[in-house]
Amino acid sequence: MNINPKIILKFTSISIVLILFVSLILFLFSCDFSNEEIEEVKVYTYSPEASLDLYIKGNNYLRQGKYKEAENTFEKLVIIDPKFSKAWESYSESLLLQNELDKSLEYIDKAISINSSIASHLSKKSLVLYYMEDYDASETFSDRALQIDQNDVRALIVLGAVKTQKGLYDQSMEIFDLAIEIEPEDSSIYYWRGKNYVNMFDFETGMFELNKAIEMDRSQAAYYIERGQLFRILGNIEESKNDLLEAIEIAKTPRKQHLIDIAKELLLEIENE
């Protein structure tokens, strides 16, 4: 039987099309298009207005104690405006307040690499280094900040704290006194000066300074922890417990887990004495 070649060619063409169609269907079914595996690409558009708006918004979050929200806001800001050194400083601040010291140091270094002539960048780094217990480096950056701006209160506070750590109490006292002359309403200066007096075994004056810091700002868990420790030294255990419990409550909102852990550990020590 003779078969028309044109019919064979037509049948072959149809077969090829069907095979390709089926292959395409199988390929589509083999792909997983679930939303979970589609990576979201963050795209932000720069404009001076958008940059300023995010900067103000992020710093408002910092003042409100919404540190994670501040972190997320500054993350967006440095994406659209990566050369904005003050944005990197604030980004570092949001992480420092969450006790993420390594990241905080990384981002303040980024700010300094963009502009090393801004005193606040240097004093911020000195503070991060202090909490990392690198006191020599902390002192170096405090000094550098003060060379640019002799009225940088944060640099003075950190420098005074470093001098206390090194046992140079007289120098520390002079530095804190100078900071208070510049910024008498800054409660943290009285807190740090109180710590200095405690280290000098002048517990009465230390208590006076810590009380003043708390009267000025009752939202700082660290102040209550420090006073609680001083009450413990003085043998006033009930007052010590009260301050440590208060510190835990304050540190819950916004949550500062490292301060909660410190207060709980001190309470456990008291219970075991």
Which CATH number do you get for residue 161?
1.25.40.10
Higher pLDDT, 240 or 42: 240
| pLDDT 10s digits, 256-269 | 999 999 999 999 99
Whether residue 32 has pLDDT greater than 60: no
Whether residue 243 has pLDDT greater than 70: yes
Supply the pLDDT for residue 17: 47
Whether residue 166 sits in one domain with residue 145: yes
Domain assignment of residue 23, yes or no: no
Domain assignment of residue 172, yes or no: yes
Domain assignment of residue 18, yes or no: no
Structural domain boundaries, residue 60? 45-115
Higher pLDDT, 161 or 46: 161
Q: How far apart are CA 189 and CA 180, in angstroms?
A: 7
Show which of 115, 143, 169 is a domain's final residue: 115
Residues 133, 162: contact at Cβ < 8 Å?
Answer: no
Comparing 4-13, 156-165, 249-258, the range with the smallest average pLDDT is: 4-13
Domain assignment of residue 66, yes or no: yes
Domain assignment of residue 88, yes or no: yes
Domain assignment of residue 179, yes or no: yes
Higher pLDDT, 6 or 193: 193
Domain assignment of residue 174, yes or no: yes
Whether residue 142 sits in one domain with residue 109: no
Q: How far apart are CA 38 and CA 83, in angstroms?
A: 30
State the average pLDDT for the chain. 88
Q: Which helix (H) or strand (E) holds 150?
A: none
- For the whole model, what pTM was predicted? 0.80
Whether residue 31 has pLDDT greater than 90: no
Whether residue 124 sits in one domain with residue 181: yes
Average the pLDDT over 62-67 and give the result: 92
| pLDDT 10s digits, 153-212 | 999 999 999 999 999 999 999 999 999 999 999 999 999 999 999 999 999 999 999 999
Count up the domains in the chain and report the number: 3
Whether residue 6 has pLDDT greater than 70: no
Q: Whose CA is closest to 192, among 216, 219, 171, 173?
A: 173
Domain assignment of residue 137, yes or no: yes
Whether residue 2 has pLDDT greater than 90: no
Supply the pLDDT for residue 79: 95
Whether residue 136 sits in one domain with residue 107: no
